[in-house]
Amino acid sequence: MKNRFLIGSRSSDLALWQANFVKTRLEDFFPDSVFEIRVISTTGDQFVDVALSKIGDKGLFTRQIETQLLSGEIDFAVHSLKDLQTDQPDGLRIGAVCKRELPNDVLISKEFSSIDGLPKGAKVATGSLRRKSQLLTYRPDLEIVEIRGNVPTRLKKFDESGVDAMILAYAGLHRLGFDSRVSQLIAFNVMLPAVGQGAIAVEIRGGDAEIAELVVSLEDGPTRTCIIAERAFLRTLEGGCQVPIGAYASLENGQVYLEGMVGSLDGTIVFRESIHGDAGQSERLGIRLAEKLIQMGASELLAQVRAEASAEAVIR
């Protein structure tokens, strides 16, 4: 086995935190090896003031990294798992899934401690159609405004705006040391997270036994089981990060409990169901839950969402 390895990562503070987390863990497991991080710019990083729904859907934050992985310019890549397509490029696979952080979304506000406490007509910033849909289902009186950028950038934009609140993922805030900014950890009955939210994925080349043996030390089996169910749900719905789809799977006593939702952009229509079954059938559970929502009308709703999706004012 060679003793020098190159890790591909995006340039954001959170991406580098994740890459360094993986690097440190591997250095602990393999003290005689050298691990270096190569920063690679992706499409999603280059268009920071454009709504994600206008840029496209597939590989926004992974394509350029995966190109270098396939060509052998890097040995493996570290991603937020929620950024990975459910159908990965030929020749690539997820070599390890690290233990998941809390996947909840959180409310950030200078004045208000909860979504319920926001005044009527309050402005809430988010760059996610999934969050927008669920917020408007719960509080149809809210005004949703678009915000883009990495975590520190969004916090700065929010602080300089007149917006009442903002929604972000807990995991990113926690990993970067911004716990003090959290006003409310949002319960799953109000807002289901993105598929894979809070989990870190290590992507490798298929058939690369050397790298597979290296990164398996990072694997967390329970997280992988839950992620398989969530990604099967999303794949069956043919969804991506630019449509209002949420899901969360948990593992208890050998049983996977999966809940999923599909909503309209204005929050007036929501299909939400749950399912549970043996952990060994996690992928099948995700497929079955998606099929339940499709029977309820989810496919037609998603087609309508894709046709209607348009950018709102970006906080600059």
220 in catalytic set: no
Going by their DSSP bridges, the two strands 165-169 and 123-125 should be labelled as: parallel
> What one-letter code names the amino acid at 12?
S
Judged by DSSP in three states, 82 sits in: helix
Residue 96 half-sphere exposure toward CB, CA atoms < 13 A: 20
Residue 287 half-sphere exposure toward CB, CA atoms < 13 A: 4
Max distance between CA atoms of the chain, in angstroms, equals 61
Which two three-digit tokens encode residue 90? 């030929």
> What one-letter code names the amino acid at 284?
R
Judged by DSSP in three states, 5 sits in: strand
Which two three-digit tokens encode residue 240? 């991506």
Judged by DSSP in three states, 242 sits in: coil
Which two three-digit tokens encode residue 80? 């937020």
Of 164, 134, 109, 127, nearest to 49 (Cα)? 127
* From 83, 105, 164, 208, active-site residue: 83
Rounded distance between C-alpha atoms, residue 87 and residue 92, angstroms: 10
Strands (E), the chain: 4-9, 34-39, 76-80, 92-97, 105-108, 123-125, 143-145, 165-169, 184-185, 200-205, 245-252, 255-263, 270-278
Q: Tell me which residues are annotated as active site.
A: 83
